[in-house]
């Protein structure tokens, strides 16, 4: 389409016969309201058809033939324009002219009327009718826009009113909660001063007097009581703190009251510093003081830590629901004394210990007393003292286990009165300043060390702290990890069997099942000679134990006879992954040295 043909199309009535052209879409179609427009349309259509009728009577030009004079110009036969096409072109021209200023379209009026074979007056009426229709459409569009704006303003006003009502309601609820909280704090403060044995009775009275749910009131009181027991917030130390000197101060203060080997003293000092960096850590290892008998100093060690770690909370009788609230709201370091009895009474604490190991941001959903779902973030640190190791393997794997032995008569330490003092306050202030100064550096640290998997995760940031201290601390930290983690617990039955088979194979490449069983029972006092108190271990029992590690019997022929047995290559993966432990090499600080696991009696 040429530039003259571009533009909006006029109504279909311009075509004539009161019918639109089939298949043609014409913008702005519709009935004109004025008689002048109808007459203009009829006249224009008639003029176009008359012009077409005249053109039909003209003889058609003949194309050039081979016998004609070659000097004559050969003309291509022109296509005949239909009346419908003429009407369409007229509509396009009218639309184009209607979009021009009046002076301009009046200037072109005569020329365009002559071009399309219509009277100028008629063309003028058509243009004016189109302009009028456009004005009407624009007026309608403007009216619709105004209506939409008014509707939008009404809706916005309604939304503003709803928002204002919601704000007022939220403010009202907030004021009521503040008033309620002040009343509860006053009541809680009074009850907290009373002996513990009277707390529940007083809380029942308060619940009845205030119209509160007793269970909710008890949980909120325990959170209030826990916050009340935290040491007062301190200002950080004014000067920068040397890491090595700080760790030495923590170690000295701890050893002043507790007799421990060097490995436990180092691990404890590093872990105390770690509690001030727990927010930047990915994993939060638990420090576990244990011994199978009483009076070994486990509780004393825990109470000394209370005045050095960040935001300590000594959990004695916290209920399960309150423990979630305390961990989530106070972000404290839980100190669990006599955890063997606590874990025996409640599985909630074990769940918190397990879930608090990873800083994943995940929250634990719990159903409240009124059926509502509440979510808690329990990530954080815990120090635990307990008799024995009455925990699941999952929980133990998240712990740095410190076996504290009773002190000898010759080992003299100061009696600990379980109270705060100026030395503790100074250490906490220095730890605050040190954590602020070094958090970014330690968060980006990637220390090298022994072990892998969960044990490495437990020690990684502790090693980074030791590396920051420099001097002997990197070496001491890795030596402590080796001392505390190597053979810290009894291997499983399967691991004990693999270790025994490792020694039996020696340099041989294959052994029959009968030879392996015979070698296992050579030591008549060993567990395999009286396996599970039912006599020597059999080939079937051997196969069942090894099947758990995807090690199955094969046909071997060490003496030229094919019998059931095993190839050394079948154990390669199990030996490498399960029996290799870092060796105690005091002269090596960061390199991982491995040696086969050695068990007692093998």
Residues 425 and 459 in one domain: yes
Based on the fold, state whether residues 532 and 456 are members of the same structural domain.
Answer: no
Most confident of 19-33, 261-275, 388-402, 474-488: 261-275
The token pair at 98 is 């209607």
- For residue 218, is it within any domain? no
What's residue 165's pLDDT? 93
Q: What is the DSSP letter of 231?
A: P
Residues 389, 288 within the same domain: yes
Average pLDDT over residues 95-103: 91
Residue 75 lies in a domain: no
Choice among 19-33, 117-131, 377-391, 530-544 with the minimum mean pLDDT:
19-33
The residue from 179, 204, 221 where one domain ends is 179
> pLDDT at residue 409 above 80?
yes
CB 333 within 8 A of CB 382: yes
**Structural domain contains residue 91:** yes
Neighbours of 261 (CB within 10 A): 14
Residues 379 and 300 in one domain: yes
**Same domain? 413 vs 460:** yes
* 468 to 20, 247, 364: CA distances (angstroms): 89, 11, 35
Q: How many helices (H) and strands (E) does the chain have?
A: 20, 12
Residues 587 and 500 in one domain: yes
| Residues 110, 50 share a domain | yes
Average pLDDT over residues 98-124: 90
pLDDT of residue 22: 37
**Which of 20-24, 82-86, 408-412, 429-433 has maximum average pLDDT?**
429-433
The angle at the Cα of 198, spanning 197 to 203, to the nearest 5 degrees, equals: 125
- Paired residues of 402 in beta bridges: 289
Please identify which residue in the block is written with the tokens 């250490």.
427
Q: pLDDT band for position 266 (50/70/90)? A: very high
Angle at the Cα of 353 from the Cα atoms of 347 and 359, rounded to 5 degrees: 140
Q: What is the pLDDT of residues 366-389, one digit of tens each?
A: 776 666 777 888 899 999 998 888
Residue 66, pLDDT > 60, answer: no
- Going by C-beta distance under 8 Å and a sequence separation of 6 or more, which residues neighbour residue 426? 237
Question: Band of the pLDDT at 394, cuts 50, 70, 90?
Answer: confident
- Which of 179, 198, 230 is a domain's end point? 179
Q: Kindly report the CATH number assigned to the domain that includes residue 396.
A: 3.40.50
| pLDDT above 70 (res 418) | yes
Together in a domain, 46 and 165: yes
Rounded CA-CA distance 410/258 in Å is: 13
Three-state secondary structure call for residue 41: helix
Give me 177's structure tokens. 């909660």
Q: Which residues of 106-140 are buried (b: 16+ CB within 10 A; e: fewer)?
A: eeebeebbeebbbeeebbbbbbbbbbbbeeeeeee
47 plus 151 within the same structural domain: yes
Q: Find out whether 324 and 340 touch, Cβ atoms under 8 Å.
A: no
Mean pLDDT of 94-121: 90
Out of 467, 485, 503, a domain closes at: 485
- Percent pLDDT > 90 in the chain is 41
Query: Mean pLDDT for the chain?
Result: 81
Backbone conformation region of residue 502, classed left if phi is above 0, alpha if psi is from -120 to 50, else beta = alpha
**Alpha-carbon dihedral sign for residues 228, 231, 236, 238:** positive
Look at the alpha carbons of 542, 547, 550, 554 in this order and tell me if their dihedral is positive or negative: positive
- 264 and 175 housed in the same domain: no
Give the per-residue pLDDT at 152.
92
pLDDT band of 353, cuts 50, 70, 90: confident
- 270 found inside a domain: yes
Domain assignment present for residue 215? The answer is no
Contacts within 8 Å (CB) and 24+ apart, 581-585: 581/486, 581/487, 582/450, 582/451, 582/482, 582/485, 582/486, 583/482, 584/479, 584/482, 584/483, 584/486
> Is residue 267, in this structure, part of any structural domain at all?
yes
Helix ranges (H only) for 444-557 are: 453-469, 473-485, 493-505, 513-520, 539-547
Number of folded domains that form the chain: 3
pLDDT at residue 11 is higher than 70: no
Residue 474, in any domain of the structure = yes
Q: Of the ranges 76-80, 109-113, 330-334, 503-507, which one carries the lowest mean pLDDT score?
A: 76-80
377 plus 394 within the same structural domain: yes
Contact between 481 and 450 under an 8 Å Cβ cutoff? The reply is yes
| CB-based burial label for 511 (10 Å; 0-12, 13-18, 19+) | buried
Overall average pLDDT of the 163-187 stretch: 89
Read off the tokens for 17: 């016969």
> Which domain does 92 fall in, by range?
1-56+80-179
Closest by CA to 569, choosing from 509, 499, 511, is 509
pLDDT of 244 strictly over 50: yes
What is the model's pTM? 0.59
Residues 469 and 516 in one domain: no
| Torsion of the alpha carbons at 530, 534, 535 and 539, rounded to the nearest 10 | -100
pLDDT at residue 20, rounded to an integer: 39
């Amino acid at each position: 389409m040429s530039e003259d043909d571009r533009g909006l199309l006029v109504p279909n009535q311009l075509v004539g016969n009161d019918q639109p052209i089939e298949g043609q879409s014409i913008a702005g179609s519709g009935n004109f309201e004025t008689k002048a427009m109808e007459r203009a349309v009829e006249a224009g259509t008639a003029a176009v058809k008359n012009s077409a009728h005249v053109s039909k009577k003209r003889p058609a030009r003949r194309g050039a033939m081979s016998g004609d004079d070659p000097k004559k110009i050969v003309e291509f036969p022109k296509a005949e324009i239909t009346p419908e096409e003429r009407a369409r072109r007229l509509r396009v021209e009218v639309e184009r002219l209607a979009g021009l200023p009046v002076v301009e379209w009046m200037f072109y009026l005569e020329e365009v009327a002559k071009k399309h074979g219509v009277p100028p007056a008629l063309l003028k009426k058509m243009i004016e009718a189109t302009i009028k229709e456009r004005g009407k459409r624009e007026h309608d569009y403007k009216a619709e826009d105004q209506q939409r704006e008014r509707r939008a303003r009404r809706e916005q006003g309604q939304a503003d009113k709803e928002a204002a009502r919601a704000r007022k309601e939220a403010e009202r609820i907030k004021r009521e909660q503040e008033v309620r909280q002040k009343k509860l704090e006053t009541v809680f403060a009074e009850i907290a001063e009373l002996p513990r044995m009277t707390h529940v009775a007083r809380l029942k009275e308060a619940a009845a007097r205030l119209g509160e749910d007793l269970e909710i009131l008890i949980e909120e009181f325990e959170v209030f009581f826990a916050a009340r027991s935290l040491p007062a917030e301190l200002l950080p130390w004014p000067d920068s703190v040397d890491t090595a000197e700080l760790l030495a101060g923590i170690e000295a203060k701890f050893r002043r009251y507790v007799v421990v080997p060097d490995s436990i003293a180092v691990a404890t000092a590093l872990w105390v510093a770690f509690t001030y960096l727990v927010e930047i850590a990915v994993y939060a290892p638990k420090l576990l003081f244990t011994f199978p008998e009483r009076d070994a100093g486990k509780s004393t060690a825990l109470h000394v830590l209370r005045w050095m770690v960040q935001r300590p909370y000594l959990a004695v009788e916290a209920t399960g629901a309150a423990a979630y609230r305390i961990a989530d709201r106070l972000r404290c370091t839980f100190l669990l004394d006599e955890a063997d009895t606590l874990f025996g009474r409640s599985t909630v604490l074990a769940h918190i210990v397990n879930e608090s190991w990873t800083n994943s941001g995940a929250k634990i959903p719990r159903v409240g007393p009124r059926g509502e779902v509440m979510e808690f973030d329990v990530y954080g640190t815990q120090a635990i003292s307990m008799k024995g190791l009455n925990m699941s393997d999952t929980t133990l794997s998240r712990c740095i286990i410190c076996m504290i032995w009773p002190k000898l008569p010759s080992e003299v330490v100061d009696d600990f009165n379980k109270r705060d003092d100026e030395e503790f306050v100074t250490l906490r202030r220095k730890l605050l300043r040190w954590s602020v100064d070094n958090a970014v550096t330690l968060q980006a640290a990637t220390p090298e060390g022994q072990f892998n998997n969960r044990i490495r995760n437990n020690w990684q940031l502790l090693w980074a702290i030791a590396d920051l201290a420099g001097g002997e601390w990197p070496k001491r930290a890795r030596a402590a990890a080796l001392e505390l983690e190597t053979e810290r617990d009894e291997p499983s039955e399967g691991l004990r069997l693999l270790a025994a088979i490792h020694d039996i194979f020696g340099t041989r490449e294959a052994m029959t099942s009968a030879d392996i069983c015979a070698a296992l029972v050579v030591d008549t006092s060993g567990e395999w000679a009286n396996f599970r108190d039912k006599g020597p271990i059999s080939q079937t029992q051997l196969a069942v134990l090894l099947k758990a590690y995807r090690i199955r019997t094969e046909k071997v022929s060490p003496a030229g006879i094919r019998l059931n047995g095993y190839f050394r290559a079948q154990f390669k993966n199990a030996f490498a992954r399960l029996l290799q432990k870092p060796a105690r090499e005091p002269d090596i600080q960061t390199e991982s040295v491995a040696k086969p696991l050695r068990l007692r009696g093998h």
